[in-house]
Amino acid sequence: MDVNTERFRSMPSRTASRSSSSYFQSSDSQAHLDHTAARSSLAPRRPQASLSEYFGYDHSGNSKRPNISRPSTVRPGSRPGTASGRKSRNETASSILGFSEAQTIVCAVSEARGVSPAVGIAFVNVSLGEAVISQICDNQSYVKTIHKIQLSAPSRIIFMTTACPPNNPSTLFSLIQDLIPETQIDAIERSAWSETEGLEYIHNLAFKDDIKPLKVATQGKFYAISSLAAAMKYIQQHFSINFVPHSLRIQYRPSEDTMMIDISAIQSLEIMQNLRNSKSKDSLFGLLNHTCTPMGSRMLRSNMLQPPTRPDLFITPRYDALDELTTNEEMFLEIRKGKFCSDSIESR
């Protein structure tokens, strides 16, 4: 009896073995979780900040945010830029606004000094042969300017050498460095920002039918025209590209008659891109995009991100054009085939 009792006591308990095995399993899983948490905490994450969260300004538009004195990493103007890194930049733009086409866009920015600074912007799309110029009457926070640059997703942004280090950087330069850090920023000499050369580019490169309307629309827009001259000069120097006469589609787009939509709202409403699947077409842009050309797709994108607000200048003429296309089926089909477009281009 005593021998059996001792044998029974010396036998290992199933309960103890189960508890010990469960203990080791929980320890291993806990160690795995700790390792995963430590690894995820070390991974850098760039926060998504909208302009409204970044800026501190009151209802009058006066900025409460102090000037930024961040050290700059801008390249000097004498050093030629390269086209390296364009794929990653386009992937970044695609992840934010669903813009997946690989396009090279040069943005030139010039600003006036004053209480309500005027900012001239020129976007030259080298891939599509298109240029868009604007002059914005902005506030001291440059909300409209930065919003327009973010929506256009340029490849490179160029400033005057006087607005970049080693000189005292301007407020706009510092803000763009902080809010659009993935874009390459270059400097070009001040002599490239010439209104006379900008008007010559319009006269020589714009479509012949657009020259007179452009000169009327850009009259007195010194900073917009000089930005166009700087962008064209930069493209000639760094990309060795010269456009054929009257082959560049130049447009002047005022910012006063358009609506501003915040970047975070564009993402949350899935206007350009599906949140769950970036390759899916289940977004507002994917449902509406029935365009046949890259330029048409970009025009639709621009009108969705910056909708026009003037019925007499934008909305009513588009309804008239839509009415003409729906009532004339033959003309609609011919336009879709591209016959009218090719004939008009050859006539120019």
At 116-175, the pLDDT tens digits run: 679 999 999 999 899 999 999 888 889 889 989 988 889 999 999 999 989 999 999 999
Q: What is the pLDDT of residue 293?
A: 82
Q: What is the pLDDT of residue 98?
A: 55
Q: Which residue has the tokens 């899983």?
A: 29
% residues pLDDT > 70 (the chain): 67
Give 49's contacts (C-beta < 8 A, 6+ positions apart): 179
Q: Which residue has the tokens 């850090």?
A: 181
Q: What is the pLDDT of residue 244?
A: 94
Nearest-Å Rg of the Cα atoms of the chain is 28
Contact 198, 225 (CB under 8 A): yes
Say if residue 23's pLDDT is above 70: no
- The partner residues of 249 in beta bridges, in order of sequence, read 130
- Give the tens place of pLDDT for each residue, 36-70: 444 444 444 444 444 444 444 444 444 444 444 44
Of 21-25, 75-79, 195-199, 323-327, the one with minimum mean pLDDT is 21-25
Q: What is the pLDDT of residue 233?
A: 96
Say if residue 3's pLDDT is above 50: no
Q: Could you give the C-alpha distances from 120 to 172, 193, 223, 228, in angstroms and in order?
A: 12, 11, 4, 9
Contact 31, 40 (CB under 8 A): no
Contact 105, 184 (CB under 8 A): no
Contact 78, 192 (CB under 8 A): no
Give the chain's domains with CATH numbers. Answer: 68-258 (3.30.420.110)
Nearest-angstrom CA–CA distance, 102 and 98? 12
Most confident of 106-115, 213-222, 328-337: 213-222
Q: Provide the mean pLDDT of the chain.
A: 75
